[in-house]
A and B are shown apart, each in its own frame.
Chain A
Amino acid sequence: MTTKLLTALLLGTSILGSAGVAYAADVTLNIESWRGDDLAIWKDKLIPAFEAKNPGIKVVFAPSAPTEYDAALGAKLAAGSAGDLITCRPFDKSLELFKKGNLADLSALPGMENFSPVAKSAWQTDDGKSSFCVPMASVIHGFIYNKDAFDKLGIKVPETRDEFFAALDKIKADGTYIPMAMGTKDLWEAATMGYQNIGPNYWKGEDGRAALIKGDQKLTDKDWVAPYEELAKWKPYLGDGFEAQTYPDSQNLFTLGRAAIYPAGSWEIGLFNTQAQFKMGAFPPPVEKAGDTCYISDHTDIGMGLNAASKNADAAKTFLSWVASPDFATIYANALPGFFSLNSAPVKMEDPLAQEFVSWRGKCKSTIRSTYQILSRGTPNLENETWVESANVINGTDTPEAAAKKLQTGLDSWYKPAK
Chain B
Amino acid sequence: MNTSNIELPAWLEIVVIPILNIIAALFFTGLIMLVIGVNPVEAVGHLLRGAFGYEGGLGYTLYYTTNYIFTGLAVAIAFHAGLFNIGGEGQAYIGGLGAGLIFLLLDQYLPAILLIPIGIMAAGFFGALWAFIPGWLQAYRGSHVVITTIMFNFIASALMVYLLVNVLIMPGQMSPESRYFSEATWIPQMHEVLGVFGFKVTRTPFNLSFFFALLCCFFVWIYIWRTRWGYDLRTAGNSEEAAVYAGIRPRKVIVTAMCLSGALAGLVAVNVIMGESHRLLLNFQLGYGFTGIAVSLMGRNHPVGIIMASLLFGVLSQGGLELAFEIPQITRDMVVAIQGLIILFSGALALMFRPWVVRAYLKFKPLGEQHA
Instruction: Judge: A and B partners, yes or no.
Output: no
